Amino acid sequence: MNSKKNNNRIWHYYSNSTEGRRYAEDILESLHKTNGEIDESLKIVSHSMGGAYAKGYVNAILDYAKGHNIAGVIVAFEADFAPFQPKKQKAVKDKNMGPTLQFSHSSDNVAGNDPMPGADQMDTSKDTDQGHAIVSFTTDDILNLPAGSYKIINGKIVR
């Protein structure tokens, strides 16, 4: 399939699950470690169709970590800005996955403003432009994303 001609959410999810599997080892290897233990979390930010892409990627990375007994892999959060077809997506649920934060606008004529199952709906009412473009979100929406605050102690996740 050609992704430029296919807007199907499911295709994006599975194609990017494949991409996630392909790059999981490199991504996990790049995380900071102290005494050989991962002490850095992943933070995922997406826009529009990237929301489905992100979920496939996240699932693949978490599955890779479990399948290879790699301790300390945490996705601190996934922030989806104007996620396309949000009702057809759902937040990733995993003990090593933080919240999915949905930033949507009331006048978005591309992605709409429907809630995504399992995601935390973020207040974007202060954004003057309530459209779809990533630039319609305020800098505060991005600057106020949560910092990773998890620690790994003896290979265990401490929140």
Domain boundaries defined on the chain: 9-158
Q: What is the pLDDT of residue 21?
A: 80
Q: What is the pLDDT of residue 142?
A: 81
**How sure is the predictor about 155, in pLDDT bands with cuts at 50, 70 and 90?**
very low
Burial of 101 (0-12, 13-18, 19+ CB in 10 A): buried
What does pTM read for this prediction? 0.81
Distance of CA 131 to the CA centre of its chain: 21
Give pLDDT tens digits for 21-34.
888 899 999 999 99
Residue type, 56: G
Residue type, 78: E
Give pLDDT tens digits for 49-96.
999 989 998 999 999 999 999 999 999 999 999 999 999 999 999 999
E strand spans, the chain: 33-34, 37-38, 42-47, 75-81, 100-103, 120-121, 151-153, 156-158
